[in-house]
């Protein structure tokens, strides 16, 4: 049945050839016509697959279909090759061999040598095959190679190197051979060369290159109908996709491999032995695919995707063409949009920088006259004014401090909006920090006839590690808000340790007042930028609506959330919890479990403000007051004031002279360098922005010959980006203008004593 099917297939192929007129005299004169080539390729495939009996039968039954003498001779030679394989002798005879003259005998001898080489190659007798192919080379070089056996033998020599894993030599030979094979019209051998190159690339895990060679071979196979090579190609594709773990495609090509063997009648000999193994491999692949299918949540989606994939394969050319066009258009559009976005980003960055520069400039310009206002107010208050003058000066001082606070709020808000605020890790005393904050608000508390109660949890360690400046900003804004909306009432600030471990302390802060309260529908809006409860509130109490917005942003920055409980007419409670690091000295404290261990109840430790009677707390702990500088030992110290503004010169000089310092004044950095070189000073106060030579350059010059004299920056510039730079240049500390007197003299004392005050 298989033989009949082979003959039928061959007959159909030959009919197609003759029907379409593909056999020409030129082909016959050159060697094989198309019909002969189709038959001989099938015979050669059967021989290569070790199916000798069927190959012999096909030769015998197909001789009548070949109508050229050259094809007859090649059939005879193939029959000889089969006899060589099955006989023990080296000179078998065939009843079909009928060479009539010396030229044909020589022609037969050359081809017989080539077939012997092929036989040895297929039996993996590589040394013998190499010798026979070398013999073929020497003969075909001397004669007209009508069979083109020189190129064929060279191909088998390359494949000998391939089987010996000499991939470099094989690749070089095949790359040189392929153009010559194509020129001679040896498509079968050209296909073999592509398959071998594909196998080499695959063995090196260069799967993309292997796929290219396999695809080139596939094109030639489809154009020329090489069933044996098609079988081999499908086998290689199956292994190729299996190594890529593309089991579905591997199964497809393995099934094509088996189907092509059956369709072409190659089911005898060696192929018959392999079919069982191949079917087992197919079942194994199906098992792998089934396992993969189980991992899919929706089997229907899988089939849809598979159908889409098959559909996409059928329209690949069109899809690629359209995709390239769309991609080009999209890339052009994206490039344009990217360029526009970059321009917008640059504009935004420029605008942000202009805004930052503007704020820096306007801040400096505002702080300079503010320094004059606050400084002169301090001088007047310290000169024993009359009672009516005292009241006016206190009002002026309060207004100046409010304006300075407003400026600071605007700057802080801008930094928070620009994400330029970074948290610091500094050791500080929380109880002392709160006491100092309350002290600064004492006048505002008295003006509204309020009192502030501090309730501090004694379980909180005396030292914590965190950002005391940000904590101060939060509490000042919350207390200021409560003072603003509370009259004749009480404002309570509570701290409570709610969790403690070896490394961390979590502290709950509460600011409670008995003020007017906030309506439910406005409790979320008051934390928005520039928002107050209503217009009447803004008119009555003033303010910008930035305080609580800053509080919310700072609390969020510190990893917490601000909470509000309020009732109109009864007051408000603002609360948040912050994690602080414990300093090493407190690392021995065991973790406090709020579920099993009851934390000690916080007790009020101090009351500030205007009140007639204060209940005595159950336990009162003393508040640590800010260290008061001892200036007795500093009397007579010589100070150089470097300042270009005449009013600021006068104010700073008078403030220092009240403490009996001896002061000299330099109008710019150049004068300061000369005076510092010519005189010995105990302290230098240096402005930053000055004509001729600024404070930074002057400091660098002074530090070249004087590294010991304390040098403080007394400047109105914002310090958000300048502080590290100023310290690196050579400044010992920075005093921002306008300053509070305690801070001013505290930093001066610190510069002399080199004692850190938190």
CA distance 697 to 680: 20
Query: Do residues 455 and 374 share a domain?
Result: no
- Does the pLDDT of residue 318 top 70, yes or no? yes
Residue 642 scores a pLDDT above 70 = yes
Backbone phi and psi for residue 293, each to the nearest 5 degrees, phi listed first: -65, -35
Considering the domain architecture, whether residues 426 and 552 belong to the same structural domain is answered as: yes
Residue 591 has what DSSP assignment?
P
Q: Identify the band that residue 262 occupies on the pLDDT scale cut at 50, 70 and 90.
A: confident
- pLDDT digits over 126-159, tens only? 666 666 666 666 556 555 554 456 677 777 777 7
Question: Considering 420, 436, 456, which residue would you say is the last residue of a domain?
Answer: 420
Domain-located, residue 39: no
**Same domain for 639 and 720?**
yes
Is-contact 116 77, C-beta < 8 A?
no
The CATH number of the domain holding residue 711 is 3.40.50.2300
Give a yes or no: residue 135 inside a domain.
Answer: no
In a domain, 616, yes or no: no
DSSP character string of 159-183: HHHHHTT-HHHHHHHHHHHHHHHHH
456 three-state secondary structure: strand
Residues 478 and 595 reside in one and the same domain:
yes
Residues 531 and 517 reside in one and the same domain? yes
Tokens 């796929």 belong to 211
Count of alpha carbons within 13 angstroms of residue 373, beta-carbon side: 16
The dihedrals phi and psi of 428, each to the nearest 5 degrees, come to -155, 165
Q: Which of 209-213, 718-722, 737-741 has the lowest mean pLDDT?
A: 718-722
Handedness of CA 657, 661, 664, 670 (dihedral sign): negative
Strand partners, 466: 426
Q: How confident is the model at residue 537 (pLDDT cuts 50, 70, 90)?
A: low
pLDDT of residue 561: 92
- Percent of the chain whose pLDDT exceeds 90: 18
553, 639: one domain: no
How confident is the model at residue 698, as a pLDDT?
94
Range of 14-28, 124-138, 226-240, 534-548 with top mean pLDDT: 226-240
Query: What's the pLDDT band for 638 if we cut at 50, 70, 90?
Result: very high
pLDDT at site 505: 92
Range 588-611 average pLDDT: 44
347 plus 475 within the same structural domain: no
Q: Tokens 């994690």 — which residue?
A: 579
- The answer on 486 and 416 residing in a single domain is no
Please tell me whether residue 558 adopts helix, strand or coil conformation.
Answer: coil
Q: How many domains does the chain have?
A: 3
Mean pLDDT over 426-446 rounds to: 87
**Distance set, CA 559 to CA 278, 504, 511, 576, 691 (Å):** 64, 14, 19, 10, 44
Q: Determine the length of the chain.
A: 758
Residues 501-521: what's their mean pLDDT? 89
pLDDT tens, 363-420? 666 767 777 777 778 778 777 788 777 777 777 776 776 677 677 777 776 777 667 6
Instruction: Tell which wins on pLDDT, 455 or 371.
Output: 455
Distance in angstroms (rounded) separating the CA atoms of residues 565 and 575: 9
Q: Kindly report whether the global pTM for this prediction surpasses the value 0.95.
A: no
Q: Is residue 362 part of a domain?
A: yes
pLDDT score recorded for residue 61: 63
Give the phi and the psi of residue 732 in degrees, each rounded to 5. Answer: -85, -30
- pLDDT in the model for residue 525: 73
SS3 for 112-128, per residue?
Answer: HHHHHHHHHHHCCCHHH
Tell me if 560 sits within 8 A of 577, measured CB to CB.
yes
DSSP 8-state code for residue 582: P
| HSE value, Cβ hemisphere, 13 Å, CA-based, for 495 | 24
Query: If pLDDT is split at 50, 70 and 90, which confidence band does 617 have?
Result: very low
Let me know whether 552 and 601 are in one domain: yes
Q: Is the domain of 523 the same as that of 598? A: yes
Same domain membership, residue 638 and residue 568: no
Q: Is the pLDDT of residue 220 over 60?
A: yes
**CATH label of the domain that carries residue 345:** 1.10.287.130
| Cα separation values, 702 from 96, 167, 229, 698, 751, Å | 115, 75, 90, 6, 17
**Is residue 548 pLDDT above 90, yes or no?**
no
> Is residue 431 pLDDT above 50, yes or no?
yes
Tokens of 505: 């302390």
Residue 605 located in a structural domain: yes
Among candidate residues 549, 574, 609, the one where a domain is terminated: 609
Give whichever of 91-95, 272-276, 369-373, 636-640 has the largest mean pLDDT.
636-640
Residue 620: per-residue pLDDT: 34
Pair 455, 601 in one domain? yes
The whole-number pLDDT of residue 377 equals 80
Q: Residue 497 above 90 pLDDT?
A: yes
User: In 204-268, where does DSSP find H-type helix?
Assistant: 207-224, 227-243, 247-263
Q: For the packed helices 316-381 and 387-417, what is the interaxial angle rounded to 10 degrees?
A: 170
Domain containing 453 — which CATH number?
A: 3.30.565.10
Q: What is the mean pLDDT of the chain?
A: 74
> Which structural domain, as residue segments, surrounds residue 738?
632-753
330 located within any domain: yes
Strand, coil or helix: 495 = strand
Is residue 269's pLDDT more than 60? no
Q: Which of 286, 230, 285 is nearest to 258 (CA)?
A: 230
Any domain includes 498: yes
Q: For the segment 467-493, what is each residue's pLDDT rounded down to a tens digit? A: 888 898 899 889 988 888 888 999 999
- Is residue 265, in this structure, part of any structural domain at all? no
pLDDT band at residue 674 using 50, 70 and 90 as cut-offs: very high
Question: Could you report the per-residue pLDDT of 7-46, keeping only the tens digit for each?
Answer: 344 434 433 333 333 333 333 334 445 566 666 666 766 6
DSSP character string of 319-383: HHHHHHHHHHHHHHHHHHHHHHHHHHHHHHHHHHHHHHHHHHHHHHHHHHHHHHHHHHHHHHHTT
pLDDT tens, position by position, 75-131:
555 555 555 555 444 444 444 444 444 444 455 555 666 666 666 666 666 666 666
Closest by CA position to 506, among listed 427, 400, 582: 582
């Amino acid at each position: 049945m298989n033989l009949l099917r082979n003959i039928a297939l061959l007959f159909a192929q030959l009919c197609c050839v003759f029907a379409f007129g593909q056999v020409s005299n030129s082909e016959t004169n050159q060697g094989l016509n198309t019909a002969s080539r189709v038959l001989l390729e099938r015979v050669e495939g059967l021989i290569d697959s070790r199916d000798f009996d069927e190959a012999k039968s096909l030769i015998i039954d197909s001789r009548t279909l070949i109508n050229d003498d050259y094809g007859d001779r090649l059939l005879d030679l193939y029959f000889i090759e089969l006899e060589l394989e099955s006989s023990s002798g080296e000179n078998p005879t065939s009843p079909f061999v009928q060479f009539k003259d010396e030229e044909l005998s020589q022609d037969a001898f050359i081809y017989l040598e080539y077939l012997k080489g092929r036989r040895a190659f297929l039996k993996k007798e590589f040394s013998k095959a190499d010798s026979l192919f070398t013999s073929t080379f020497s003969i075909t070089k001397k004669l007209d190679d009508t069979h083109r056996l020189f190129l064929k033998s060279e191909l088998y020599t390359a494949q000998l190197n391939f089987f010996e894993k000499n991939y470099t030599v094989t690749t070089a030979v095949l790359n040189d051979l392929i153009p010559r094979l194509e020129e001679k019209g040896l498509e079968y051998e050209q296909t073999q060369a592509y398959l071998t190159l594909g196998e080499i690339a695959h063995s090196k895990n260069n799967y993309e290159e292997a796929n290219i060679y396999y695809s080139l071979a596939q094109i030639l196979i489809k154009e020329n109908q090489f069933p044996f090579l098609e079988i081999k190609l499908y086998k290689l594709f199956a292994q190729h996709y299996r190594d890529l773990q593309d089991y579905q495609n591997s199964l497809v090509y393995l099934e094509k491999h088996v189907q092509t063997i059956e369709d072409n009648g190659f089911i005898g000999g060696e192929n018959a032995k392999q079919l069982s193994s191949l079917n087992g491999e197919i079942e194994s692949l199906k098992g792998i695919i089934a396992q993969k299918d189980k991992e899919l949540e929706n089997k229907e989606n899988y089939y849809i995707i598979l159908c889409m994939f098959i559909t996409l394969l059928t329209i690949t050319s069109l899809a690629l063409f359209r995709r390239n066009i769309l991609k080009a258009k999209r890339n052009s559009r994206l490039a344009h949009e990217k360029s526009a976005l970059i321009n917008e980003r640059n504009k935004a960055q420029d605008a942000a920088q202009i805004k930052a520069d503007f704020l820096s400039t306007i801040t400096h310009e505002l702080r300079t006259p503010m320094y004059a206002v606050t400084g002169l107010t301090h001088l007047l208050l310290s000169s024993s004014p009359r009672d009516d003058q005292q009241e006016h000066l206190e009002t002026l001082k309060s207004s100046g401090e409010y304006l300075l606070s407003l400026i600071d709020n605007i700057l802080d808000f801008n930094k928070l909006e620009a994400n330029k605020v970074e948290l610091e890790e500094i050791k500080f005393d929380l109880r002392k920090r709160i006491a100092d904050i309350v002290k600064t608000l004492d006048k505002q508390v008295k003006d509204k006839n309020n009192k502030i109660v501090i309730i501090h949890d004694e379980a909180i360690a005396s030292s914590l590690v965190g950002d005391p400046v940000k904590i101060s900003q939060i509490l000042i804004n919350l207390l200021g808000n409560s003072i603003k909306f509370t009259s004749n009432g009480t404002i309570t600030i509570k701290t409570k340790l709610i969790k403690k471990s070896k490394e961390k302390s979590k502290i709950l802060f509460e600011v409670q007042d008995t003020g007017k309260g906030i309506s439910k529908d406005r409790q979320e809006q008051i934390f928005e930028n520039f928002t107050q409860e209503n217009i009447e509130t803004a008119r009555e109490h003033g303010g910008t609506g930035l305080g609580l917005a800053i509080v919310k942003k700072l609390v969020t920055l510190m990893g917490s959330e601000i909470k509000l409980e309020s009732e109109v007419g009864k007051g408000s409670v603002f609360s948040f919890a912050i994690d602080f690091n414990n300093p090493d000295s407190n690392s021995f404290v065991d973790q406090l479990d709020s579920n099993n261990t009851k934390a000690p109840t916080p007790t009020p430790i101090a009351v500030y403000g205007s009140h007639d009677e204060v209940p005595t707390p159950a336990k009162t702990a003393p508040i640590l007051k800010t260290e008061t500088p001892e200036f007795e030992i500093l009397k007579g110290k010589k100070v150089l004031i470097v300042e270009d503004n005449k009013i600021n010169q006068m104010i700073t000089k008078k403030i220092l002279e009240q403490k009996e310092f001896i002061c000299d004044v330099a109008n710019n950095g150049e004068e300061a360098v000369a005076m510092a070189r010519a005189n010995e000073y105990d302290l230098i106060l240096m402005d930053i922005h000055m004509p001729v030579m600024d404070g930074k350059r002057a400091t660098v010059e002074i530090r070249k010959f004087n590294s010991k004299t304390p040098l403080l920056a007394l400047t109105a510039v914002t310090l958000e980006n300048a502080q590290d730079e100023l310290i690196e240049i050579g400044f010992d500390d920075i005093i921002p203008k306008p300053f509070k007197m305690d801070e001013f003299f505290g930093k001066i004392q610190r510069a002399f004593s080199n004692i850190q005050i938190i």
